[in-house]
Amino acid sequence: MFFNNLLKLEQNIMNYFAPISIILFLSGFLTWFIPDGYIWEQWLYLLHVFIGFIWSILIALYVFVHVKRTVQVKRAILNLTGFISLVFFLYIVFSGGYLAFYGRTQTNDYIYDYHVMTSFVGSFALIAHILGHLVKYYKSKVIYGKYLSFSVNVSRYIIKGYLTILVLCIVIVTFTFFNSKLVITNNFSDYEYPYGDQPFEPSKTTTPDNQFLSKKYLASSRVCASCHQDIYKQWSASIHRHAAKDPAYEKNVALLTDKKGIAATRYCEGCHAPIALLAGQLTKGGVHGGINDTPANEEGVNCISCHAISRINNTQGVASYHLTQENPYLFDLYNGGLNATLTKFLIRLNSSPHKKQFSVDKVNTSEFCATCHAQFMDKELNNWGWVKMQDDYSAWLSSPFSGFKEKSHSQQTVSTCQNCHFPKVKGNDPSSDANGFISSHLSLGSNTFVPLHFGDIDHAKKTERFLSSGKVRVAIDVQWQKLASQDLFNTKLKNDKKTELPSYVYNDQDFNFNVIVSNHFVGHDFPAGAIDLHQAWLEVTVSDHSGKVVFQSGNVNAQGDIVNSPHIYQTIPIDKHGEHVWKHDLFNMIGDSYKKVIPSGSADTVNYNLKVPSWVKGKLIIHVKLNYRKLNKKYYEWVTGESINNLPVINMSYDTLSIPIIAKREVSNIY
């Protein structure tokens, strides 16, 4: 009786287990034949996970009943094939559950591979186990058909039920899919076109059919953060995130709006606040990215701003990229609620369409950075003509790092912008590589002002370490002098050598030395970017052994001014009247009255001359520092209304040399 009850229960479970197993296997197998991103592939994934959950419960029940019924039976081959099937099916259950919960990433992709392999091996082991039963009971003339095959009538109802559920799901979700599209509108029927037919001019940005994009889609960094937490945290502290929130930008974009109108801000917003530009906000009645508490201001250059770029229009800059709005998944991630939950689930199950959409190869090229880190202005804005401005991309092309210039001792391999500014770091992220590394989105550079303004001391310290990591170096070069030590006789012996002693100076004598500033480890000019706002300079101090100053250049006084004829690396832009354009109002700029930078792989030699006073005794000590400050004093005080002394000076490199003071004159050579 007990045996018969177990057999009946086993048969009932098999009636459900068999058709579900077939549907589960086919739903997984068919995904191999449908290209990534197709709607039917996603349906199969959803069906596979749903059926897999039910199958896991049924197989647990079936194994429990089957083992309990056959535990006393001693058939070595059948027991072996059954045990192998059980082991593989257990892995299938746990690996499938893991992938459904955690998703399929680069670091755990091997689990998916094993899940697929064990599905085939486990299925073959199960077939062998069943065939063993068939042979055994056929020979013994025992009718075991009810156990070995599921009931036709029951199975027919089960299959019909699943087909009905599947059709209903398709109808409901298809309706949801077609009614959850993001609305693309700028809400301004009288959008201005003062710079031509292209709605984003004078920015060089384009979109499919030059249509505006959904603000929900554009301002979606928090949606990305739900999966990419480490990257989101890095980006949140970055200069990219603060590109529109930077007080300097807010001040300048307000100035441009006041002088030229809000449509002119499209020139800036394509790089600093793409959300405002692409959502069609930059027209009368709209708001630019410099307005606090707007999505464009809060997110600046966000995830979509870079990762949704599908094409680089050119490398001349001014936001010369093509950005698209796509939705390769069944549901709409950006509308929130159940839609977002299901989309994230589908992304975890198969992230290939997501990677194809957002992790494009172009992101890892220097040409990609050129879309914004290069700049020019035309007559339409400056009422003058075409003017070339900052261009870090061209500087990189001319550097030893690009591979387009003859190799030099400083760099033997090609290095892109991303190698320095987005280096690989350890990160717990779905996008991490097989070794657990991600590209750092802190994007360290030379901006020391923004981190301090927002109270991010950690970012400020990392920026200081980045700047002082030896990429630009200084060295003191002094002409060596020889004491009169030559012999009276020229004996030509092996030990007859001319020896050089360390450099020395005399009191009341003119003294010359050089400072060499070498840019061998920066991939572009030094300094770079908006160099009219930076200040990089040499601070030179010559003192005696007691610390009394003999000579000084480039020191900072109590008011924050750089004094005593400093050697500064910067540019001084001018307008058409020759006046200094010091507010960074580039629409007035037509050229430079001064520009001093050091190209990558080059060096700058600066000569200093002084007269050594008679009171100097002992040693003459030369201290040289390469200092950096962003911003310059006049601009900083205009932007913030604060003293420049609130902004620290970063020492990027230094050198020291001690030179003896010689009282007597040289002895003339005797021949």
| pLDDT at residue 356, rounded to an integer | 86
For residue 253, count CB atoms less than 10 angstroms from its CB and return exposed for 0-12, middle for 13-18, buried for 19 or more: buried
Task: Report yes or no: 208 and 324 within 8 Å, Cβ to Cβ.
Answer: yes
- Residue 183: count other Cβ atoms within 10 Å of its Cβ: 10
> What φ, ψ does residue 350 adopt, rounded to 5°?
-150, 100
Lowest-pLDDT range of 7-11, 339-343, 597-601: 7-11
Measured between alpha carbons, how far is residue 547 from residues 44, 286, 400, 412, 563 in Å? 79, 61, 41, 43, 20
Q: Name the residue with higher pLDDT: 377 or 63.
A: 377
**Most confidently modeled of 88-102, 332-346, 590-604?**
590-604
Residue 313 near residue 371 (C-beta atoms within 8 A): yes
pLDDT the model gives residue 234: 97
Give the span between the Cα atoms of 64 and 56, in whole angstroms.
12
With a cut of 90, say whether residue 662 has pLDDT above it. no
pLDDT exceeds cutoff 50 at 326: yes
Which of the residue ranges 21-25, 399-403, 474-478 would you say has the lowest mean pLDDT? 21-25
CA distance 304 to 215: 11
Calculate the alpha carbon distances from 599 to 263, 371, 554, 593 in Å.
Answer: 36, 21, 22, 19
Rounded CA-CA distance 260/72 in Å is 91
* Predicted model pTM: 0.83
CA angle 575, 532, 365 (to 5 degrees): 115
Confidence check: pLDDT of 396 > 80: yes
Q: Is the pLDDT of residue 37 over 50?
A: yes
Q: Any idea where the domains of the chain sit in the sequence? A: 2-178, 208-439, 470-484+498-662
Q: Distance between the two ends of the chain, CA-based, in angstroms?
A: 128
470-484+498-662 classified as CATH 2.60.40.10: yes
Q: pLDDT tens, 70-108?
A: 766 667 777 788 888 888 888 999 999 999 988 888 778
Over the stretch 244-285, which tens digit does the pLDDT of each residue have?
999 999 999 999 999 999 999 999 999 999 999 999 999 999
pLDDT digits (tens, 9 = 90+) for 286-308: 999 999 999 999 999 999 999 99
pLDDT of amino acid 583:
97
Angle of the 39-70 helix axis to the 337-349 helix axis, nearest 10: 70
- The Cα-based distances of 168 to 27, 42, 331 in angstroms read 17, 16, 16
Closest CA to 43 of 54, 53, 30, 55: 30
Rounded to the nearest 10 degrees, the angle between the axes of helix 76-102 and helix 109-139 is 150
pLDDT bucket at 59, cuts 50 / 70 / 90: confident
Burial 194-233 (b: 16+ CB within 10 A, else e): ebeeebbbbbbbbbeeeebbbbbbbbbbebbbebbebbbe
The band of 175, judged by pLDDT with boundaries at 50, 70 and 90, is low
Rounded to 10 degrees, what is the CA torsion of 161, 167, 173, 176? Answer: -120
* Averaged pLDDT of the chain: 85
Distance CA 348, CA 228 (A): 12
